[in-house]
Structure 1
Amino acid sequence: MLERMSFRWVSIWFLCALLWACTPASTEVREPAPTPTAISPTPTAALITPTPRPPLDATLRQQIFTEVWTTINEHYLDPTFNGVDWARVRAEYGARALAAEDDASFFAVISAMVRLLRDDHSRFVPPQAVIAEDQLTRGREEQVGIGVSTLPLSDGLLIQHVFPDSPAARAGLQPRDRIVAIDGLSFNLGSIEGPLGSSVRLLIVQPEGDSRELELIRERVEGRIEPLIRRLSDDVAYVGISTLWVNDMHEQVATALQRLMAERPLRGVILDLRSNPGGWRDVLSGLLGHFVTGDVGAFISRKGATPLVVTARNPDLRGLPLVILVDRGTASYAELLAAVLQQEAQATVIGRPSAGNTETIYAYEITGGARLWVAQEVFRLNDGSDLEGKGVQPDIQPSSDWTRFRFEADPWIALALDRIREVR
């Protein structure tokens, strides 16, 4: 779901819109497009239950449509809108939106309009989907299910995290187990989530090749997404980060690294960004600060260039041998993290070329609880290159498939350890 999220913005526009919605229909009120203002997400420990919303009337539909169209018109990275006649789109899709049969159809029209831009970044998020986005922002996976987070692959759902005291944990499921069937159906036709107290049958294939079937009862589960950090042989730190979307991920990493350093010094670092979809700019900057400082590149928009200036963070790992693991699922700010360290810290990159999906998107809160993500910037490295459409190019490309191995037998990690020994 969670695509290339870089900055989170909220606007005073939402309050203005609520007041506007209470204004008599005969009163004409014109407001500018939403103006972003940075905020910090607020953590919550409770499972969020969607609040029923009254149907949108014609006035609110017009307001929402105008906000979305105007925001893209003013802020989209490409002033030609990838060759789309954006003025014509306003007339055509405005009529469709107002004529939509119900709210779901209305939001579908808005989404279709944004997709006309033909990029993998900009998108419209209806109100109910915004709730799920915000839960992940807080670093919490909240579900009625079995208590795992998964990575969809071509032949199954690869388990990335197993949450403590969950049905999955009690059944002995482990990271890198693969769910290949759900309730007798292919994994992509079934769902591990469902009604509270309902049962779900799973076919699990383990990295060792063994398979087993089990039946679990769905529970309400809340788990925290955390980095995997441990000391490997030769005092090499392994830092596995599955997402930069958790707003305190850099703080979690710093705290764990400080604990390792307090035991005894480190002699190298493996930074695992495989299948990391990116996340917050603050997290990117915070992680970079362990390895590099200063001006490491710039974000380019229609308004000009904004340098990315990194400040040092504790612990200071500059000068240590550094290896980064990436694959095709490494995207957005995770790609920038790898590319900057490859160029500025002489890190060795092992894996597959990354996604090449690096445009920075900004979020605008839209009337009625919806959200609009708009591509507004590209990042340019200090050598003048960018990653869009190209991705990070590894220095070493293994032939093995890392998803087929347990962590302890992962051949990519073994290669990374060998590389650190070579350069020390």
Structure 2
Amino acid sequence: MNQYSKRNSLLQIALFGGAFAATAALTLLTPVGSRAVRAQLQNSPKAIVDEVWQIVNRDYVDGSFNQVDWEATRTELLSQEYSSPEQAYAAVRVALAKLDDPYTRFLDPEQFEELTTQTSGEMSGVGMRLELNAETQKITVVEPIENSPAKKAGLQSGDQILQIDDRLTEGMKVEEAAQLIRGKEGTEVSLRVYRSTQGEFDVVLKRERIELQAVQYNIRAEGGTNVGYIQLSEFSSHAAEQMRHAIGELSDRGVDAFVLDLRGNPGGLLYASIDIARMWLDSGEIVRTVDRNGGSQDFRANRSAIAQQPLAVLVDKNSASASEILSGALKDNRRATIIGTSTFGKALVQSVHSLSDGSGLTVTIAHYYTPNGTDISQLGITPDIAIDLSTEDKRRLAANPQLRGTSDDPCYARAVASLLAQVQQAKPLAIQ
């Protein structure tokens, strides 16, 4: 996404519980201070310090800045001398910490690049998910992504990655292996692979720009009813189009009901959550945001729903932010049954800015409220049907991810029971 390379690039509205993200409007900054001061800041680490201060000064949701004298903070920041960007970054982080807001934070260039990769829903690589196998302690392919270089080359689930270029993977962490395999689009990476049915072999893969799958789905027969199961991992820039495709394909295959799994989803883009809500809702409010001046913006359904079948939504304590907007909208409009535990409780909206040296800044700019006017801060969305998994169930599902969304998953099983009752109730009575 080359727009991120522009100076003072783009304002991005995001709702990640632990990250942030997506493009909305151009950010234009008018420097505060004299022309002499502005000239002094050019090509200096102080330029980044002042960029950060200005954005927070203009946009931060709390006009009192947590009772911090923000003007005095600028004077203090610009009175210091910074011999390196890292010193300026450290000073910025100290200043932002005074706001006592974990979502208003500074990102160095590497962190900002990781963020933009995550929220764009794209990456440059070979397209496969890796894990450190608990039994073999080998870097292992979980699955290759469809239409990726790894898939085209025939790599399979269970393949062990023994060597990446000239680096053996013995004792390597999965994050380190993934970092070595990722790289610039068009470059190549050589892998030595072990497959139980074939032994060791080498494969050379050319890295490509790959769209990451935020949506996984399938159809399941449950008590004579076809249930479409959709798992949404995050609200990236491709999530809405992937969700539309999943709903459309499952509907074409004749599903009678849907289960939407948002467990562990940390959130993502505001507009992705609104677009997805509109796929399920024909009418009604989705969310209302309020800025520091009391200005509000209402987002509503627009009669563009593509699914009318009964819906259950699975949530847990790690379903955050955009996940809470979607589940809150579906709950308050009585469109879905929410099942699981109370969600994370993040009712804040962030903007994300790229800075002139490639670093970035996330700033809380608004609160949001569910259609019923509920402020879920620190409380989360309360499920319609509460299910608190036992320690054993949590351990079992964590160790066996393939059990998620099956009859061995208590939340999914309860969702199916609820949906079957709704489907049965909706059937016309037979005429005797």
TM superposition score normalised by structure 2: 0.71
CA contact (8 A) 1:325 1:349 kept: yes
Q: Is the 8 A contact 2:313 2:336 kept in 1?
A: yes
How has the CA–CA distance of structure 1 residues 149 and 302 changed in structure 2, closer, same or farther, with 3 Å as cutoff?
farther
- Cα distance per residue 1:342-384 (max 9 Å; x no partner): 1112422222222112300012232223322110111112322
Matched letter for residue 226 of structure 2? D
- 8 Å Cα contact 1:13/1:367 also seen in 2: no
CA distance in 2, matches of 1:89, 1:118: 15
**Contact 2:142–2:158 (CA<8 Å) still a contact in 1?**
no
Distance 1:200 1:308, change over 3 A: farther
Q: Tell me, in whole angstroms, the C-alpha distance in 1 between the residues paired with 2:324 and 2:140.
A: 21
The one-letter amino acid paired with 1:238 is Y
Q: Distance in 2 between matches of 1:349 and 1:404?
A: 25
2:157 — aligned with what?
172
Per-residue Cα deviation, 1:149-186 (whole angstroms, up to 9, x for no partner): 789xxxx9999875356499836249xxxxxxx8547x
3-state SS in 2 of match to 1:252: helix
Of 219, 228, 235, the residue aligned with 2:216 is 228
**Structure 1 pair 229/193, CA: closer, same or farther in 2 (3 Å)?**
closer
Q: Structure 1 340/224 Cα, relative in aligned 2: closer, same or farther at 3 Å?
A: same
The amino acid of 1:403's aligned partner reads A
Does the C-alpha gap of structure 1 residues 217 and 73 become closer, same or farther in structure 2, counting only changes over 3 Å? farther
Q: Secondary structure at the match of 1:383?
A: coil
Between the two proteins, what is the percent identity of the paired residues?
Answer: 21
What letter corresponds to residue 412 of structure 2 in structure 1?
Answer: I
Match of 1:21 in 2: none
| Residue among 260, 271, 288 paired with 1:298 | 288
SS for the counterpart of 2:36 is coil
Determine if the alignment matches structure 1 residue 93 to structure 2 residue 77: yes
Q: Return the offset for 1:63.
A: 2.7
Mapped to 2, the partners of 1:120 and 1:217 lie a distance apart of 43
Query: Using a 3 Å threshold, how does the CA distance of structure 1 residues 403 and 216 change in structure 2: closer, same or farther?
Result: farther
> Paired residue for 2:36?
28
The alpha-carbon distance between structure 1 residues 294 and 325, as it changes in their structure 2 partners (threshold 3 A), is: same
- Checking the alignment, whether the CA contact within 8 Å between 1:4 and 1:361 is kept in structure 2 is no
* 2:178 alignment partner AA: E
- CA displacement at 1:273 relative to structure 2: 0.8
Match of 1:255 among 216, 238, 245: 245
Partner of 2:114: 132
SS at match of 1:81: coil
Shift of 1:397: 1.4
Q: In the alignment, which of 78, 94, 113 is matched to residue 112 of structure 1?
A: 94
Q: 1:67-109 deviations in whole A, cap 9, x for unaligned?
A: 211211221111222233323322333334xx23322232232
Q: Compute the displacement of 1:218 (Å).
A: 10
Q: Which amino acid aligns with 1:300?
A: V
Match of 2:386 among 396, 408, 412: 396
RMSD: 3.8
* Cα 1:280–1:248 shift into 2, 3 Å: same
Greater C-alpha radius of gyration: 2
| Alignment: residue pair count | 360
Question: Aligned pair 1:11/2:10, yes or no?
Answer: no
* Separation of aligned partners in 2, 1:414 and 1:254: 25
- The Cα of 1:391 is off from its aligned counterpart by 1.2
Deviation at 1:324, TM superposition (A): 0.8
Structure 2 match to 1:72 = 56
Output the CA distance in 2 between the equivalents of 1:307 and 1:159: 44
- Distance in 2 separating the partners of 1:384 and 1:259: 34
- Amino acid paired to 2:244: A
Which ranges in structure 1 are unaligned for 5 or more consecutive residues? 18-25, 32-55, 175-181, 202-213
The answer to whether the aligner puts 1:274 opposite 2:263 as a matched pair is yes
Task: State the alpha-carbon separation in 2 of the partners of residues 244 and 169 from structure 1.
Answer: 29
User: What's the CA shift for 1:125?
Assistant: 2.0
For 1:415, the equivalent position in structure 2 comes to 414
Deviation per CA, 1:248-300: give whole Å up to 9, x if none.
31122112222222232x32111111111211222111111122223233101
Relative distance call for 1:314 and 1:306 in structure 2 (3 A) is closer
Q: What is the deviation of 1:27? A: 5.8
Secondary structure in 2 matching 1:392: coil
Say if 1:7 and 1:361, in contact at 8 Å, map to a contact too. no
Query: Partner amino acid for 1:84?
Result: V
Q: How does 1:371-390 map to 2 (within 5 A)?
A: 371-390=360-379
Matches within 5 A, 1:228-377: 228-233=216-221, 234-245=225-236, 247-264=237-254, 266-292=255-281, 293-303=283-293, 304-317=295-308, 320-377=309-366
By how many angstroms is 1:221 displaced?
A: 7.1
Point out where structure 2 has 5 or more consecutive residues left out of the alignment.
1-15, 160-168, 182-188, 194-199, 424-432
1:148 aligned onto 2:129 = yes
Report which stretch shifted further, 356-365 or 109-118. Answer: 109-118
Structure 1 contact 147–169 (Cα < 8 Å) conserved: no
CA distance in 2, matches of 1:184, 1:161: 21
Contact kept, 8 Å, 1:324 with 1:349, in 2: the verdict is: yes
Between the aligned partners of 2:343 and 2:386, the Cα distance in structure 1 is 13
- 1:190-229 aligned at under 5 Å gives the runs 191-195=176-180, 220=207, 223-226=210-213, 227-229=215-217
SS in 2 for 1:134: helix
